[in-house]
Amino acid sequence: MQHAFSRLAQGVGGNRPQTLEELLAGAALLLPMLDVIPNAAIFIKDVQARYVLANRTLVQRCGLKDLRPLLGKTSAQVFPAQLGPGYTEQDRKVLEEGFVLEDQLELHLYGSREPGWCLTHKQPLYNRDGEIIGLAGISVDLQSASETHPAFERLAAVDEHIRANFNRRVTLGELTRIAGISVAQLERYCKRVFHLTPRQMIQKVRLEHAHRLLHTDLPITEVALQCGYTDHSAFTRQFKASTGFTPRQYRQATGH
């Protein structure tokens, strides 16, 4: 899905629009189709990181009934304080540096305000002169594991091992031994079954645990250690990449 949207963002046949308005005129025709995709938030933003187009899934995720209140606002203005500013900071990097974000594992708050995970893709939109005129993005909800895959039982054992040992360094070597397959097969099968790479699986379990511990009074250095990070700065970097906040900022935003 994200590859098709990427081609749309670049312009059909490589014919880039000169202005964002030109691009929106074409993209708006596809909005009814984008609206029926339930597990993906799809959007376009201008150079000020403000929404100019979004599908129904994103509108609902923001707790709104229709698109109009969302238009002209940044993520920081519409998402909860724990997450919104981080999304906007991410947008600035795309818009100012031409950064392309691919398969970024991120924590989201869904309609029930329960945390959930998605894989986010963002890329700059260029006009014919090579100038950035906006960005396009898609955040795909992390789907449940594909239990029908022939390798599911082997990979379930891998997942169980990660969940039991995430508080220490988990190597690809030990995961391949558990699954009885090569590294290349492990990477490929994990993407098919869990929709994540093995490293993303480890990261997800660690960050889920960190999310829980940051709602307690445990010192942040201890949170990092309990989540398998011997390097406090590495924990801070990965947590911020996932949520847009440092662990300390996240704790403050949630009132702990």
- Asked, for residue 69, whether it belongs to a domain, the answer is yes
Number of domains forming the structure of the chain: 2
C-alpha–C-alpha distance, residues 62 and 79, integer Å: 6
In CATH, what number is assigned to the domain containing residue 186?
A: 1.10.10.60
Contacts of 189 (CB under 8 A, 6+ apart): 149, 151, 154, 155, 179, 181
Structural domain range at position 185: 152-253
- Asked, for residue 146, whether it belongs to a domain, the answer is no
- Asked, for residue 105, whether it belongs to a domain, the answer is yes
In CATH, what number is assigned to the domain containing residue 81?
A: 3.30.450.20
Dihedral sign of CA atoms 179, 183, 186, 189 in order? negative
Do both 16 and 102 map to the same domain? Answer: yes
Do both 137 and 160 map to the same domain? Answer: no
Q: Which helix (H) or strand (E) holds 132?
A: strand 132-141
Residue type, 126: Y
C-alpha–C-alpha distance, residues 73 and 87, integer Å: 12
- Asked, for residue 83, whether it belongs to a domain, the answer is yes
- Asked, for residue 6, whether it belongs to a domain, the answer is yes
What is the residue-level pLDDT of the chain in tens, covering all 256 positions?
555 555 555 554 457 888 999 888 888 888 888 888 888 999 999 999 999 999 999 998 888 889 999 999 999 888 877 677 788 888 999 999 999 999 888 877 655 556 678 899 999 999 999 999 999 999 998 877 778 888 888 899 999 999 999 999 999 999 999 999 999 999 999 998 888 999 999 999 999 899 889 989 999 999 999 999 988 899 999 998 887 788 998 888 766 5
C-alpha–C-alpha distance, residues 242 and 200, integer Å: 11
Give the residues across from 122 on adjacent strands: 101, 137
